[in-house]
């Protein structure tokens, strides 16, 4: 709990203390304007209290995350270092070291067989020709490599 009274946290607490009453006051002001006949102010009457509620929600969430300690990440799961070489158990987290969150994800890979597409081959040849001739214009392209000497 001591960490919630650091200079950064005091600034956050003060920001919440200023924003929430400010947003509620703006909502009240918009309600007065809406009651006076300004139809657009009805939307703002409900919007400002929602903003105040969001500030309170985020503040509570950040306080909970701070109270859980430094070994938890932003999603509430325990952060550990990758397993040292030759072992299966992860070691303690080190600052600046690689971390894993939960179990690693294994994704199955598959090889996609691509048929020999003449249009794709011609396009790739065109791109290779443009890369070989940076000063040339696209209209200078002589055609597929079958019609060009040296390729």
Q: Which residues, 6 or more positions from 67, have their beta carbon under 8 angstroms from its beta carbon?
A: 1, 4
Phi/psi region, residue 37 (left: phi>0; alpha: psi -120 to 50; beta: rest), is left
Q: Is 84 among the domain residues?
A: no
Q: Is 99 among the domain residues?
A: no
pTM of the prediction? 0.47
Q: What is the pLDDT of residues 29-68, one digit of tens each?
A: 999 999 999 999 999 999 999 999 999 999 999 999 888 8
Q: Which residues, 6 or more positions from 13, have their beta carbon under 8 angstroms from its beta carbon?
A: 59
Nearest to 144 by CA among 114, 129, 135, 136: 129
Same domain, 69 and 123: no
More confident position, 71 or 124? 124
Q: Is 88 among the domain residues?
A: no
Which residues sit opposite 99 in a β-bridge? Answer: 81
Instruction: Name the domain boundary from 74, 105, 127.
Output: 74
Instruction: Name the domain boundary from 74, 89, 106.
Output: 74
Q: Is 65 among the domain residues?
A: yes
Q: What is the pLDDT of residues 91-141, one digit of tens each?
A: 555 566 666 667 777 888 887 776 788 888 888 888 889 899 988 888 888
Q: Is 134 among the domain residues?
A: yes
Question: Which of the four pLDDT bands, split at 50, 70 and 90, describes residue 71?
Answer: very low
Give the domain range for residue 125: 118-147
Question: Which of the four pLDDT bands, split at 50, 70 and 90, describes residue 70?
Answer: low
CB count, 10 Å around CB of 113? 5
Same domain, 129 and 67: no
Total structural domains in the chain?
Answer: 2
Sign of the dihedral through C-alpha 35, 36, 42, 46: negative
């Amino acid at each position: 709990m001591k960490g919630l009274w650091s200079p950064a946290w005091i600034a956050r607490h003060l920001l919440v203390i200023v924003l929430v009453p400010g947003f509620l006051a703006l909502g009240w002001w918009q309600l007065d304007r809406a009651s006076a006949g300004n139809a657009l102010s009805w939307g703002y009457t409900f919007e400002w209290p929602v903003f105040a509620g969001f500030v309170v929600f985020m503040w509570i969430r950040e306080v909970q995350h701070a109270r859980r300690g430094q070994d938890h990440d932003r999603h509430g799961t325990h952060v550990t270092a990758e397993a040292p070489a030759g072992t299966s158990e992860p070691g303690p987290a080190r600052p600046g070291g690689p971390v894993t969150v939960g179990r690693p994800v294994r994704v199955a890979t598959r090889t996609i067989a691509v048929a020999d597409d003449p249009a794709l081959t011609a396009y790739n040849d065109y791109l290779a020709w443009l890369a070989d001739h940076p000063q040339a214009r696209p209209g200078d392209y002589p055609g597929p490599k079958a019609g060009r000497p040296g390729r």
